Amino acid sequence: MGEKMEHVKHAAEQKMWKVRAVLVDRSGENFIDSAIKILMAVVIGALLLAGLYALFSENVLPTLSRRITEMFNYAG
């Protein structure tokens, strides 16, 4: 019976050291870091798309539609 208790005690000690090592370990990437990176990518992408939309709606599309109208409105 004493030998079995020693075995259980030894196994519990090993588990405790494994848990302690995991808690002390600072390497690796946390979930919060990943979430912040994803959020930053989404925000930067949205800003880029908004800028492109503003550029196309104010500069490119009016010029393009004027040129197409001039091209097909040939009176000569």
Closest CA to 57 of 68, 69, 49, 67: 49
Q: Where are the domains of the chain?
A: 2-72
H or E, element range at 18:
helix 2-24
38 pLDDT band (50/70/90 cuts)?
A: very high
Place of tokens 């405790």: 16
Classified as helix, coil or strand, 30 is coil
Q: pTM above the 0.75 mark?
A: no
Question: What's the mean pLDDT in 13-39?
Answer: 85
